[in-house]
Amino acid sequence: MRKIERVSSIGTDSRVRPDGRRARGDASRRAVLTAAVDLASVEGLDQLSIGRIADAAAVSKSGVATLFGSKERLQLATVEAARERFVETVITPARELPRGLGRVLALVDGWIAYSRDRVFPGGCFFAEAAADFDAKPGEVRDAIEHALDQWNGYLAVSLGYARDRGELADLDDPEQLAFEFSALLDLANRNSVMRDTSAPYARARAGIAARLRAAGAASDVLAPFAAVSDA
């Protein structure tokens, strides 16, 4: 068994002293990325530049350049920061529920709230980013695609668990249903942002509830989800 080394005195061991410069750098990075994801959701990820973010985050261009090095590295870091915010907002709370239909409904409800409550000021960050980069090959496009695939894959797997539990006994293809859900949610997000109204979310809920009902979901389980007012 390997011997575990212990530090006998934190006050005298330089290895565990706080690194003030690193802490300040991490704080600056977080502040810049917070501004970057919010700005990109409104103006577009492709419009993101070191100079534009420096203005938005009230830091120097040289400071942003030191943190990220290039526009592409800044964009990639922004995509990852947006992915983390999305996971924290939508997926993590739903995972508190056991696998099955309840988790599926929590995921969809969380996604609607994420768009409706403008977790990103411009609505869904990834809808905007995908529109910017869907025809532009490269690392940034790949990162956006990967984040979208993770969401759609997790939703499809969750639908599969609900089917295996007998809660969606008539569901043949979880991936197809996940695709349909994403289409409804994306359209609701787009129309809500364009028209400044929450009405599209009610239509998305109605469509998703109808598809789940057709797949065998019990009406009493769907009723609370369908009855939510997103006004």
pLDDT at residue 60, rounded to an integer:
85
User: Cα separation of 184 and 205, whole Å?
Assistant: 9
Q: Which residue has the tokens 């810049």?
A: 32
Q: In this structure, what token pair is assigned to residue 117?
A: 């409550």
Q: What homologous superfamily is domain 72-227 in, according to CATH?
A: Tetracycline Repressor, domain 2 (1.10.357.10)
Distances (CA, A) of 109 to 24, 168, 182, 211, 224: 37, 18, 12, 15, 11
pLDDT at residue 17, rounded to an integer:
53
Q: In this structure, what token pair is assigned to residue 3?
A: 């011997």
What is the number of other CB atoms lying within 10 angstroms of the CB of residue 126? 22
User: Cα separation of 213 and 219, whole Å?
Assistant: 7
Query: What is the DSSP secondary structure assignment for residue 91, as one 8-state letter?
Result: I
User: Cα separation of 79 and 73, whole Å?
Assistant: 10
User: Cα separation of 88 and 150, whole Å?
Assistant: 14
pLDDT at residue 27, rounded to an integer:
80
pLDDT at residue 83, rounded to an integer:
98
Q: pLDDT truncated to tens, each residue of the chain (231 aa)?
A: 333 333 333 334 445 455 566 666 678 888 899 999 999 999 999 988 888 888 888 888 888 888 898 999 999 999 999 999 999 999 999 999 999 999 999 999 999 999 999 999 999 999 999 999 999 999 999 999 999 999 999 999 999 999 999 999 999 999 999 999 999 999 999 999 999 999 999 999 999 999 999 999 999 999 999 999 998
User: Cα separation of 61 and 66, whole Å?
Assistant: 9
Q: Is 124 helix (H, G, I), strand (E, B) or coil?
A: coil
What ranges do the domains of the chain cover?
72-227
Q: Which residue has the tokens 């979208």?
A: 148
Q: In this structure, what token pair is assigned to residue 107?
A: 């995921």
C-alpha 141: how far from chain center: 16
Q: In this structure, what token pair is assigned to residue 157?
A: 């797997």
pLDDT at residue 48, rounded to an integer:
87
